[in-house]
Amino acid sequence: MGFCSMKRIHLPLTKEVRSGFRAGEELLLCGRFYTARDMAHKRLYQAIRLKKFLPIDLTDNILYYCGPTPAPPGTVIGACGPTTSKRMDQFTPFLLKAGLAASIGKGQRSEVVIQAIRRYGCVYLTAVGGAGAYLSERVKKAERIAYKDLGPEAIYELYVEDFPVTVAIDACGHSLFKGCK
């Protein structure tokens, strides 16, 4: 499917907008979202549990499961492909409850995460694994903004144009992965 037939979505991802998404739908994201991998998720979760300040506002925002590589000269960011989402499953329900609208990664999610997606009216989006160099071309600005000591696992703020994703699990809990093992 070409870009012309994909739905362009301007972020943030409000509940009204994401409630209209259907599993299998292809989108082009435009605007700001954040990267966060395992260690950043753990720190966000701990901050929520301890009612401490969060370094980012999760409300209506997206976390992209990505640890970008250093930017080569003349580029905004290095390769920034998705990582396996299942590793974040233990933290995801808490982040969704705290207002997170969506996550972007690759692979299936646990039943607990699917239930939380449905409960909080969120979505799970997938990006093509192995396409990190291509996806980096969609990033127009990148800045490491939190947990800088984590290196590539720090939280980055990305501004993207036409970042391609697929709705893998919609707000009703319909999943592209049903029947997959």
Inside any domain, residue 148: yes
pLDDT at 3 over 60: no
- Cα 46–51–56 angle (5° rounding)? 75
Task: Say if residues 65 and 124 touch (Cβ distance below 8 Å).
Answer: no
Domain count, the chain: 1
Active site residue 10: no
Q: DSSP characters for 112-127?
A: HHHHHHHHHT-EEEE-
Inside any domain, residue 20: no
Inside any domain, residue 87: yes
Inside any domain, residue 136: yes
Find the mean pLDDT for residues 125-131: 92
Find the mean pLDDT for residues 111-131: 96
Query: Which residue range forms the structural domain that includes residue 135?
Result: 27-169
Name the pLDDT band for 87 (thresholds 50, 70, 90). Answer: very high
Inside any domain, residue 134: yes
Bridge-based pairing state of the strands 102-105 and 62-64? parallel
Inside any domain, residue 10: no
- The CATH number given to whatever domain includes residue 42 is 3.20.130.10
Question: Active site residue: 11, 18, 27, 41, which one?
Answer: 41
Residue 137, classed as helix, strand or coil, is coil
Inside any domain, residue 132: yes
